């Protein structure tokens, strides 16, 4: 499945328009038509950025097949295709150096390293590609609704683990609830910013970028970077890259949970 098909299918599933089973059915049909092996939605998101020169007719084919199956309507398909095409253009404009880091993370996730090790590397590279002072991966505690600082980086990282953000508080809580990224150039101008966070972290937050982490089944948490070095502004490229890293984190966490279930069922 090429980059366009993957993005279109992913968008439609995340929006709740089609099911995974419907996408897999149509992708298998498309594969028989174009002679390519079928790849379901479990494929590694790192593949999105390694196939930018593939055939351009796949998105229209996938969309047409979805229409013929009556899984979507033209009114739904057209705006999703427009969103997909914008993301494809953005992916192609990213620097090769940053894309190489995302690809490297994809390989690391499939390595034998521990979950904590993989997530720590994801956060390390997230800092590198966004050139930020600090970051954290916050995981949802389903029993309380709180977001827990699970993999922080920055000046006081060792003292920040297991800090809890109250349910629905701050930008992170909003991102988790709404499943949309937030980019703030000046946090003081946004009422969603949770001022208590600076007291907890000991670092003055001036700007931030926060993206959701979600598996195909449920919300997992958020990934946040703060304060670009040199006082520079976050860009849409930063948001796109951080979303790719959040997808990698979701895959790593899902793989770890699956391994744990298999081990316990032996």
**167: exposed, middle or buried (C-beta count within 10 Å: 0-12, 13-18, 19+)?**
middle
Question: Domain residue spans in the chain?
Answer: 3-93, 96-264
**Residue-wise pLDDT tens digits, 207-252:** 999 999 988 778 899 999 999 988 888 988 888 888 888 888 888 7
Predicted local distance difference test score (pLDDT) of residue 87: 58
Instruction: Enumerate residues 6+ apart whose C-beta is below 8 A from 124.
Output: 153
CATH fold of the domain at 96-264: Beta-Lactamase (3.30.450)
Summarised one tens digit per residue, pLDDT across range 53-108 is 343 334 457 788 888 888 888 888 888 777 766 655 555 555 566 666 666 666 66
Of 61, 42, 43, residue with least CA distance to 51? 43
Contact of 192 with 244, CB cutoff 8 Å: no
| C-alpha closest to that of 244 among 91, 38, 29, 82 | 91
Q: What pLDDT score was predicted for residue 203?
A: 82
Handedness of CA 230, 235, 240, 246 (dihedral sign): positive
Q: pTM for the full model? A: 0.62
Q: State the pLDDT at residue 150.
A: 87
**How does pLDDT run across 95-143, given as a tens digit for each residue?**
566 666 666 666 666 554 567 777 888 888 888 888 898 999 999 998 9
Per-residue pLDDT reduced to its tens digit, 174-206: 999 988 899 999 998 999 998 778 887 778 899
Section 10-35 average pLDDT:
76
């Amino acid at each position: 499945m090429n980059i366009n098909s993957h993005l279109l299918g992913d968008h439609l599933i995340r929006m709740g328009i089609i099911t995974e089973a419907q996408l897999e059915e149509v992708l298998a049909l498309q594969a028989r038509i174009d002679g390519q092996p079928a790849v379901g939605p479990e494929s590694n998101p790192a593949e999105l950025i390694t196939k930018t020169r593939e055939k351009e007719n796949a998105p229209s084919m996938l969309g047409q097949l979805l229409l013929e199956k009556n899984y979507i309507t033209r009114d739904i398909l057209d705006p999703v295709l427009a969103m997909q095409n914008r993301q494809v253009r953005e992916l192609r404009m990213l620097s090769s150096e940053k894309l190489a880091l995302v690809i490297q993370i994809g390989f690391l996730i499939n390595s034998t390293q521990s979950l904590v090790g993989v997530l720590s590397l994801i956060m390390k590279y997230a800092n590198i590609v966004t050139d930020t002072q600090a970051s954290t991966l916050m995981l949802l505690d389903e029993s309380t609704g709180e977001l827990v600082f699970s993999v922080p980086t920055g000046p006081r990282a060792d003292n920040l683990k297991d800090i809890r953000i109250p349910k629905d508080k701050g930008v992170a809580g909003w991102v988790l609830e709404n499943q949309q990224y937030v980019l703030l150039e000046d946090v003081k101008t946004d009422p969603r910013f949770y001022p208590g966070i600076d007291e907890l972290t000991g670092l003055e937050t001036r700007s931030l970028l926060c993206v959701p982490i979600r598996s195909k089944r449920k919300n997992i948490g958020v990934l946040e970077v703060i304060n670009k070095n040199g006082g520079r502004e976050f860009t849409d490229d930063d948001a796109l890259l951080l979303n790719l890293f959040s997808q990698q984190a979701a895959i790593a966490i899902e793989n770890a949970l699956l391994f744990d279930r298999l081990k316990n069922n032996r």
